[in-house]
A and B are shown apart, each in its own frame.
Chain A
């Protein structure tokens, strides 16, 4: 249950209450369906108000799917969300979660595909995650899931480059960046690899400890 309901959520609930009132009135009172007044009320109760509930509910639903709590609500994702919540963690994901621009939506911001249809593709991918969770990962232990769950495709550098454009002088002055500029831009060298900024979720790698693979403290993001 959310701590507080947003204005849109409140609108959805008010519309739902009004629609329910009209529908229950129709079911109890049995007014003549030929009457124009009945038709109008039913149109409001079956059409306008439920559409209001659905549209505001959709927006609320999409907003909810961006929250870290939403991602962490599947038990196999709790290590990832816990790591993001850990203020002492040096993992790449956790350090981004402490950035206000990412905040509580850090899972979505990093994993959402870039581009015109990125949001839609990400939502479709999310549906696939729900499907896999229901069929495969629901009964899996956390230890098993850490090794079993992996990205479907290598993490694209374009997602990092939404913020780190690789075009600023400060970025390009760094010797490693300078040497690997083309590889980073073409995706041949991953930003989130052991030799660079470390794994985003290092605890999922069997050969590394929780902080291994992370960039040293003080390095720029």
Chain B
């Protein structure tokens, strides 16, 4: 049974229960003795409330799924999206060469495969270190994009000891020593 069918079945069950609740409440109106009144005000209303709650949940799920499907149908595949952006940068802004930056969800291996054959396009992706090591193994990471001297040149401290102390503080605080060779 597909999801729509399952939701329809749940709604039908809710309708049966709602009919039962309505019948109990009508019984109390037509025959106001202790038993019908007590049952209508407790069991009847509880069943009716649950039925309404089921309806609200089903409709909420339905609307959420519809929105998700609509969004998926409008969104191009990620590879196509990146290429479209690249074309836009070239044609609209007149850039011959540029670097795309993004996290691992924005610049995926499939996109890199597409971008690799195009001249003037480079990229920096914020992958996790194990992924970066894999890519290093495949020679897919362009180390030339990273100016390894830049950080040191901008420091006001010059001596090895002081640089070591400062680096040690950062490594201890952020626990990123595994990614660097000091």
Chain A interface residues toward B at CB < 8 A: 1-2, 5, 9, 12-13, 16, 19-20, 23-24, 26-27, 30, 33-34, 39, 42-43, 45-47, 50-51, 53-54, 57-58, 60-61, 64-65, 67, 70, 73-74, 127, 130, 133
Q: Is the CB of A42 within 8 A of B55?
A: yes
Chain B residues within an 8 Å CB radius of A127: 38
Q: How many residues on chain B are close to A (CB under 8 Å)?
A: 35
**A54 and B45 in contact, given A27-B16, A33-B62, A42-B55 (Cβ under 8 angstroms):** yes
Q: Is the interface of B mostly helix, strand, loop or mixed?
A: helix
Residue of B nearest to A63 (CB): B32
Q: Is B160 an interface residue (CB 8 A)?
A: no
The minimal Cβ–Cβ distance linking B63 to chain A, given in whole angstroms, is 9
When each residue 93-131 of chain B gets 1 if its CB lies under 8 Å from chain A and 0 otherwise, what string results? 000000000000000000000000000000000000000
22 pairs, A vs B, C-beta closer than 8 Å: A9-B29, A12-B29, A16-B26, A19-B18, A20-B19, A20-B22, A23-B15, A27-B15, A27-B16, A33-B58, A33-B62, A45-B15, A46-B14, A46-B52, A50-B52, A51-B52, A54-B45, A57-B26, A60-B29, A70-B32, A73-B33, A130-B34
A50–B22 touching, CB < 8 Å: yes
Chain A neighbourhood of B31, CB < 8 A: 1
A-B contacts besides A42-B59, A43-B59, A47-B52, 13 pairs, CB < 8 Å: A23-B15, A33-B7, A45-B18, A50-B51, A54-B45, A57-B28, A60-B29, A61-B37, A64-B28, A70-B33, A73-B34, A130-B34, A133-B34
Report how far A127 CA is from B66 CA in the complex, Å. Answer: 47
